[in-house]
Structures are given as structure tokens and as C-alpha cells.
Amino acid sequence: MEHHLQVTDSRTGKSYTIPIEGDYVRAADIARIGAPEGKVDLEALKAAHPLRVIDNGFANTACMESSITHIDGLQGTIRYRDFPIESLFHQYIYEDVMHLIIWGHLPNEQEKAHVREAMSKAMNPTQSVKDVISAFPRDAETFPMILAGMSAFAASDSVICKTRHQQSAMFHGRLDVADEALVRTIGYLATTISLIYCHKNEKPWHAPEPSRNLLGNLLLMMGITDPQVEKCLAKLWILYADHEMTNSTAAVLHAGSTLIDPVAAISAGIICGYGPLHGGAIDLAYEGFRQIGTPERVPPFIERIKAKGGRLFGYGHRVYKTRDPRVSLIEELLEEHRDAVEANPLIRVAMAVDKYANQDAYFIERGLKANADLMGCFLYTAMGFDTDMIIAITILSRVPGALAHWRESLTQPVKLWRPQQKYKTPLAN
């Protein structure tokens, strides 16, 4: 054993050898410490004190082994299936990268055509789906509308409905069935978002075309015809396609471990994605920009933040100790669309905030910079998307990555995620 920990339990005096595998130890090996040995009966279990690990928020716990995405926060690198994100950004479009992340290789034209056709077929909503969306007030929040639309789609999908009514697993170990459901799920979400957009803006909804990819059909269904929008998002979405084990991806896998269907699993991720400490931070950041109003009012706003009079959402990232590699790529897109970016009054405020923060010692010392999630939103705003829809569209760009993790889990042994807790005796009344 090349690398290991040699641990002595002071409670018993026994020593244990814990293997180290690439900077990781396995919790099952830790659990051997204090566990009964030899023949195990009820009395032995009662007398034992096996060691457990407390890790609030899973900050130091790897819950999966994955071959999809690798992030090095110290070096500032991201790799999808071992491809550097920079080379994928400059040489491919989102459709190619989506296929790479889900199926592990870059697609040929036949494979792309197959996915396009299957996905566009799923994008034709039943009347019940349309009715569910149109039942909401036009000024309703997008978040609950997405959940309602996805539920309506799931109710009309016979395979997904059957998942909960058979003893054998519908998707685990059956990648052919899983792949079909995965593609439909992405199509359902794209259609739901387009229906919401059209309902809110009182625009007609347009049927998808089998020759178009996911992004192309999303924009078609929404009635957005500017080719520059598709060209920009086909690059921007690459940067959001996956981000390793995020809170929302973990939620997808947690739900997926019950052997539930992909629509339900993705819904768990969407719920997390709208939380204020996750994707919902974008809404809060934009609310801050609106409160500031003009670039001239940025300095007093920042000083109030520094005096603990508020919080600047969209700044800093817990993963990166150096520059997020996606930021420089987003800056390339911002430069390409400079006129539209600079013409938007809200983005002018955002840019003034960023400029002030980049020159202020408080932010410099703490390494606080606008993160890639916030900066990418400036492009959506410059292209005319309402803030209310930005998170929804960003989530759509991430969902194929989350489903890639769900698909990967289907090739691993079934394991229901069931964390433990440490019980604390309550204080006496």
C-alpha cells in the first residue's frame, strides 16, 4: 500500500491502516474504526462505537466518482471529458459539447440529427401542458410555472408514469431507455420555458423543427429570430454546460438514487437552482443594480456593502482561489457584443460596480470578483431577455450536464442516498 493513514483509536488502543486513493480516503474504511470484528451479533453491535464523519454541508465529502467534469480551483482550469473548456469554446458549439458531456464523445452528423429529431418530437406539448402554463397570471414568477409545466409533461409520458408502478428499475442498467427519457426531459424543459416566455410576453408560440438543435428550437419556439442571439448563446452555454458536483447536481443525484424518473430528478435540481445561495443569486444581484439606478450611485452602495449594510450577490466563488477560466471567455463575448452591452442602462450600472470593486482594497484582498454566472447574464440582458427568464434559460443550458451525471449513476451499483446525523441531546426544559 503506497499511501495510507496509520490511525490508532485511543478509545481501544487498536491501530488501523486507511488507504489513500488520490487524496481521498473512503468513509467505509473510516467506519471500520471501532466497528466489531469477527462474528457480529446484537450484543457486539451494541458494545461497538464505529467512527462516523460529521461534515455539515458536505464541504469535504465526495459523494460520487465521476468522469464527466474536472475543476481545479487552484490552477483555474475546467475540463469536460478531459477536453479543456477553452478549446471546446473556440472550436465547437453547445450542441457538440452537450453530446460530449452526456455520451462521452463528440458527435458526428448522424448522431446530431438523431438527437435533434427525437428532442423536437418531445417539444410538441399536449393541450394540458399549454393549459397549465396559460392558467398562471402573466406576471407570475417563472419558477413555479416551470415546475407545473414539467409536471404536466410528466403526466403525459407513459414511460415516466410507469416508473413508479413496476418492481424492476425502469432506467438503471437500461441506458437505451434512459437515453430516450433523457432527451425527452430536455425537450420538455425547453418547451416549458418557451411557453412561459410567450405567455408572459403575449407572443404566439411556434412549433419546433426537427432540423434544429436544442438552442435553435428554443429560440424558434420563443419567436426570437436574430441569428446573433443563437450565435452568442451557442458559445455561452458551453461555459454553463456542467460544473462538476454543484448543489443542484447533487440534488438531482439524491433524487435519482431512489430510481425515480429524470423529470422528477431534474425538478429537484431546478428547485435548488432557484435558491438565493445558488442560481437565485442572479435575481438578487439584478435587484441590487436596479436599486443603485445609475453608475454615479455605485460608490456609496459599495461602501454600504463594506460596512455590512448589505450583501453584493454574484461576487466571489467558493471553488476558485484564482481566476475562473470561464470569465475570460465571457469577456470575449462581451467584447463581440460591446455596443449592445454598453447601450443597456442596467449593465452600465453592473459594469460600474465591477470596475469599482476591482479597484477597491476590500474586494482585492478577499479575491472577490464578479463570478462567471453573473457576467454571463450581462449577455442575456444585452440581447433583450428579461431578468425573470435569465435563470430559467441558464438552467436549461445546465440540465444536460446534470442528466449526464444521472446517466452515469445508472451504470454504477444501486445505492439509495441516505445520510446520517449526529444526535445532540436537547437542553433540559
User: Catalytic residue positions?
Assistant: 317, 373
Calpha distance 123→388 (Å, rounded) = 22
Burial class (CB in 10 A: 0-12, 13-18, 19+), 410: buried
Residue whose C-alpha cell reads 464578479 in the numeric block: 370
* SS (HEC) of 210-225: CCCCHHHHHHHHHCCC
